[in-house]
Amino acid sequence: MLITASCALVPERPEWPDNLPPRSYYESQYAADRYNQQFQSKQEYLMWVQRFYTGWGGVQGWYAIREEILAEVDTASQARMRDELRKLDQRISAEWAKESDRRVIVNQTVQAWIDAAYQAGIHGDHWRLLRQISADVDALLAGTLEPSRITLGRYYPDAEQPPAVGNLDKASGQ
């Protein structure tokens, strides 16, 4: 039996969903982090970027969460809010997709922001929260803010902390 080399070809660049931010953005983020490259392949990094947006294993992705947030914003502000959220979620996802032990934006951080977004709907202050989270992302990435400081209480001190979602450890695929 003869098998030609063309039958065994694996695409070097797997398909990238059209609804995600540009693949080139994430490739440049990966290329810029030589430290993370020691622990995570580019393919694995890009897989986690996709999972951030689309979800996996019963975990809701950012796209669904973002649409829930936008549904609470007045129609006149939705387009502008969507643009601002896109900028923010690219920065968040680029860090979150890194190897679990090599990132400063972790599952608990993202969950705190999601919980705060629901509180923003109750309080009607999505824009204030968006500015505060954006500043916190800058500080986390600059190393001037500890990830453990990101809690629902940071944004809404009087809010009741929702129950823990459970272990969403990326390494286990859960």
Tens of pLDDT, residues 10-40: 445 568 998 899 999 999 999 999 999 999 9
Helix axes 23-32, 42-54, angle to 10 degrees: 130
β strands within the chain, DSSP E:
55-56, 59-60
pLDDT, residue 131, reads 96
pTM metric for this prediction: 0.83
> How sure is the predictor about 57, in pLDDT bands with cuts at 50, 70 and 90?
confident
Burial of 115 (0-12, 13-18, 19+ CB in 10 A): buried
* Mean pLDDT for all residues in the chain: 87
> How sure is the predictor about 172, in pLDDT bands with cuts at 50, 70 and 90?
very low
For the chain, give the percent of residues with pLDDT over 70.
Answer: 84
SS3 88: helix
> How sure is the predictor about 164, in pLDDT bands with cuts at 50, 70 and 90?
low
Segment 65-81 mean pLDDT: 91
